[in-house]
Structure 1
Amino acid sequence: MKKIMIKTSLSLAVTLASTQLFASGFALNEQSISGMGTGFAGRSSSVDDASIVYSNPAGMARLKRQQVTAGIAAIDAKTDISDARGRRTGTNDGDMVPFTAVPMGFYVNPVDEHWAFGLGVYAPFGLITDYEDSFQGRNFGSKSQVKVITFQPTVSYAFNDKVSIGFGPTINRISGVLESTLNVPQIPGSGDGRVQVKGDDVGYGYNIGLMVQATDTTNLGLTYHSKVTYKLEGHTEVTPGAGIPPALLGGRYDAKLSLDTPESVDFSVTQKLTDDWKLYAGSTWTRWSRLKDITVKNSGVTGPISTPIVGTITEEQNWHDTWAYAIGTSYQLNKQWVLRTGLTWDQSPTNNTDRSPRIPTGDRTIFSIGAGWSPTDDITVDVAYSYLDEEKISINRTNALGQAYSAKYDNSANGFGLGLTYRF
């Protein structure tokens, strides 16, 4: 399904991450607009709408009415690149993440006082980066687009009014396009070529949750999202630049790659302070340390240049496990309006040695506000806004052809969310 790259040009679907994402690595947080308003604090312990299918399937048993929740989150990212250096000339405009929208949809049906059934369609991972054609670091990645869409049927069971559990298998489809410029400095006067990778695959996993009403005012939630294994098969297509005979470098090669998206554990607390105020806190651990390296095996490769460049390719990543922490609050202004705010600290899994232009991210702080408006008992409209500020990071890369690129990145992003819940 997926194609791969050449060492001089592409990093891989997995290594793709950018500030368009409000979670570490290439994970997406945008599965709930109501949760976005509190910075996703209390995401596994707060039951506001049908998006609980993803956040904690055990919470479906707390919903007393059949309902549908749909929403969309839009991300507007900004990147400033400075102190760029390399053995190639070029531009460093930054702002390589286009305005991006992430949709979601959920349905919950309480069957009886114990059982509930739900469905969810959402994006747990994804990204898009698109540098300008003259980007100085184009040999290390010029365009990347990766999408993971998940379908999750779910059941929940309440033992009593205090304890419930939930489980849902996930069916996950990954697809993507990766491009990089290919230039061979060993051939004087040769022009830029291109490496393009396309593909898709389906992988399977599961989500499981536990929810406990510890006291009349304290609710606890624990959610586990499993890893998903993809066996990618596809092709690498190499288009040589001017002055390079196709017989030396060029062609279409079969490629294989194994990739695991990581498991994560979320624990959170929802504390009712008064009839109007609630306090939320939570932490999420993600096992990004699974990504030690990316190894692509291309078959059918021949030629004096193609074989050493496009054969078996290994790129070190050495990602580490991450923690995210969030705290938030909500205030029930009146029967129609609830106001929300939250603050999130989120670690990046990357390191200063292996970070590349495809994943120019560092630790981030996210401030969020939101509101819910219920004009009737059947309808709630949720809105949210988040501002992400990321620590300045550096990139320093060299490839197998002796090409190099180093730069400093300063990333930030604005996130906007709109959701609608209808109960019937």
Structure 2
Amino acid sequence: MGSSMKSFVRYTAAATVSVAALLAAGAASASSFSLRSGASAEGLGMAFAGAASGGIGMGAMAWNPATITMFPGRNSNWNLTYIAPSASYDPTSPTRVRLPGGGTAPITAVGGSPLGTGEIGGDGAIVSASYSAWQLTDRLWIGMTTGTPYGLRSKPDNQFNAAQIYGRSARVVTFNVSPTIGYQVNDWLAVGAAVQVQYFKTNLKQAAAVTATAPNTILEGDSIDFGYKLGVTLTPWQGTNIGLAYRSMIHHTLEGTFKTPVAVAPILGVGSNPIKANLNLPDSVVFGLSQVINDQWQAHLGIEWTNWSRFRRIPIVASNFGVPFTSLNFQYDDSWFFSAGVEYKYNRDLTLRAGVGYELSAVNDDNRTVFISDNDRLWLSAGLSYQVTNKIKLDLGYTYIHVQNASVNYSGSHPQQGAVLYTAEAKPQVHVVSAGITYRWDDPTETIPVRPVVRKN
């Protein structure tokens, strides 16, 4: 390897200490790396319309803890969801690299690849969610929800690609447990609250240079932190449910390591370095309306606002020195999700449903990274429920998510710009399928003194 080539490899390796990787992966099933679609099979079948008002069954507890009061007796619900995103970033112009002495050169001139990422969705992901509700008195309920509110994983088919210094793979895993309490204040008002206990783990890899044999820099970290949820449901008259809820942000303090093949004296040495990183996962407000039309038809609406603008500059601090050596410079916007759905009770046991949703993404053309193939998206959903016995109900849901074309532009002004000048575009889409089962532990024929409202059977 010539001296100029060695110089360039050292230069690009040092540049990737900017950790231009990401805390998201692939074509996620909601804005940025949110995983709304994994919350409930029944909800998935209506694009989660009416989630805050109890319209999606027990999965509504993930949005509004007050909906726990809508399920008399002792009930549990379990869901398993397969999310299959698909996207590939293909270069839209020749990829060039900045040289240490100034100027640029084609990436192939310094041993780099001209290729795009290839498929970044991989084999998709399976996520689970569960809900339990236990009525203690005619007014008081306790319960718990579990789920995966954020995550997904990504590993490009082309590990040697033109954008590899911006990320070779990403994996984000969360697990959220929320003990929940609900209280029936009177015939038209219920309130609820939940404590969020959330585990967050990430592993981010990016190439230390543009060559095929370039080693990785690896950022790893995890944390357990806390938040809360508050909600109310209103029943102004028979057949109408209104829900409003707030989910707090969760401030995660990640502790882990940053592994680098290049020393950055005096802060980073070759190998593993202990690090800390503080990040704020967003708070949100959700509104829902569920309306009985007649004995066979119900209609549902939903609006959700998520405060993604909290997810901004994330300093990566070298623990041994207590100073940041780089940052993840996200510049997200707030996101909005609008949905509408209907249910048709075909007979005593079978209910059919469908829904549509539209999401205004937190990610835009100025801040999109090479593994976040996210943009505004259209949801088309359908599903069904079947009451097997008076204790067992089965749910199936399917959603196709059409995402607008997503472009990345690392050509000089990107907030995570490195040595490679790279522009590309992806045409993302997501398929989601989910199955759920609800079981009632007590005798459903027993009379329980609760208010007459719209309930999910």
TM > 0.5 between the two? yes
1:46 and 2:54 matched: yes
Report if the CA contact (8 A) 2:16-2:418 is conserved: no
Question: What residue identity is the alignment partner of 1:193?
Answer: P
In the alignment, is residue 293 of structure 1 matched against residue 313 of structure 2? Answer: yes
Cα distance 1:95–1:400, how it changes in 2: closer, same or farther (>3 A)?
closer
Once the two structures are TM-superposed, the CA of residue 86 in structure 1 deviates from its matched residue by 1.8
SS in 2 for 1:116: strand
* Alignment match of 2:126 (pick from 91, 98, 101): 101
Map 1:300-311 → 2, pairs under 5 A: none
Unpaired runs of 5+ residues, structure 2, are 1-14, 97-106, 108-112, 442-457
The one-letter code of the counterpart of 1:349 is A
State the alpha-carbon separation in 1 of the partners of residues 311 and 124 from structure 2: 28
- TM-fit CA distance, 1:315: 3.9
SS of the aligned residue for 2:34 comes to coil
Whether the 8 Å CA contact 1:90–1:134 is kept in 2: the answer is: no
Q: Is the 8 A contact 1:42 1:280 kept in 2?
A: yes
Q: Which residue of 2 aligns with 1:279?
A: 299
1:126 to 151, 155, 168: 151
- Render the CA deviation track for 1:357-397: whole Å, top value 9, x for unaligned: 12221100010000001121111100010000011121011
Instruction: State whether structure 2 residue 95 is matched by structure 1 residue 86.
Output: yes
Contact residue 54 and residue 70 of structure 2 kept, 8 A: no
Please tell me whether the aligned partners of residues 43 and 55 of structure 1 are also in contact (alpha carbons under 8 angstroms).
yes
- The answer as to whether partners of 2:204 and 2:220 remain within 8 angstroms in 1 is yes
- Does the 8 Å CA contact 1:278/1:330 hold for their aligned counterparts? yes
Q: What is the CA deviation profile of residues 265-316 of structure 1, one whole-angstrom value per residue up to 9, with x for unaligned ones?
A: 1001001111110111110000011122222123569xxxxxxxx9621343
Which position in structure 2 is the counterpart of 1:203? 225
Q: 1:255 matched to which residue of 2?
A: 275
**SS state of the match for residue 427, structure 2?**
strand
Q: Is the Cα–Cα contact under 8 Å of residues 384 and 418 in structure 1 kept in the other structure?
A: yes
Which moved further from structure 2: 80-89 or 373-382?
A: 80-89
Counterpart for residue 410 of structure 1: 427
Alpha-carbon distance in 2 for matches of 1:83, 1:48? 41
Contact 1:10 1:179 in 2 (8 A): no
CA contact (8 A) 2:399 2:433 kept: yes
Contact 1:78–1:94 (8 Å) recurs in 2: no
The one of 17, 21, 31 equivalent to 1:11 is 21
SS of 2:331's equivalent?
A: coil
CA contact (8 A) 2:246 2:284 kept: yes
TM-score between the two structures when normalised by the length of structure 2? 0.83
- Report the Cα distance in structure 2 between the residues aligned to 1:6 and 1:223, rounded to whole angstroms: 41
Q: CA separation in 2, counterparts of 1:120 and 1:257?
A: 27
- Equivalent position to 2:173, from 143, 147, 150: 147
SS in structure 1 of the partner of residue 154 of structure 2: strand
Mapping of residues 21-420 of structure 1, within 5 Å: 21-29=28-36, 30-47=38-55, 49-84=57-92, 85-87=94-96, 88=107, 89-97=113-121, 98-132=123-157, 133-183=159-209, 191-239=213-261, 250-298=270-318, 312-397=325-410, 402-420=419-437
SS in 1 for 2:428: strand
Structure 1 stretches of 5 or more lacking a match? 242-247, 302-309
Q: RMSD of the alignment, in Å? A: 2.3
Structure 1, 285-294 or 81-90: larger mean CA deviation = 81-90
Q: 2:12 corresponds to which residue?
A: none
Question: In the TM superposition, what is the alpha-carbon distance from 1:218 to its structure 2 partner?
Answer: 1.4
Give the whole-Å Cα distance in 2 for the aligned partners of 1:404 and 1:205.
Answer: 40
Q: In 2, are the aligned partners of 1:336 and 1:373 still within 8 Å (CA)?
A: yes
Q: How far apart are the structure 2 equivalents of 1:37 and 1:190?
A: 44
Larger radius of gyration: 2
Compared with structure 1, are the counterparts of its residues 283 and 190 closer, same or farther at alpha carbon in structure 2 (3 Å cutoff)? closer
Residue 304 of structure 1 corresponds to which residue in structure 2?
none
Partners of 2:271 and 2:368 in 1: CA distance:
29
* 8 Å Cα contact 2:90-2:118 kept in structure 1: no
SS at structure 2 position matched to 1:215:
coil
Deviations 1:130-168 (A, max 9, x none): 113123211101111101101111110001221100101
Query: What displacement does 1:232 show?
Result: 1.5
Question: When you count strand as a share of all residues, which structure comes out higher?
Answer: 1
Q: Whole-Å Cα distance in 1 between the matches of residues 376 and 64 of structure 2?
A: 26
The equivalent of 2:438 in structure 1 is: 421
- More moved, 49-58 vs 140-149: 49-58
- If the length of structure 1 is used for normalisation, what is the TM-score? 0.89
Instruction: Please give the alpha-carbon distance, in whole angstroms, between the structure 2 residues aligned to 1:191 and 1:126.
Output: 29
One-letter amino acid of the counterpart of residue 407, structure 1: A
Q: How far apart, CA to CA, are the structure 2 residues paired with 1:92 and 1:414?
A: 23
Q: What count of residue pairs does the alignment treat as equivalent?
A: 400
Is the Cα contact below 8 Å between 1:45 and 1:270 reproduced in 2? yes
Letter in 2 for 1:264: S
**Separation of aligned partners in 2, 1:300 and 1:6:** 21
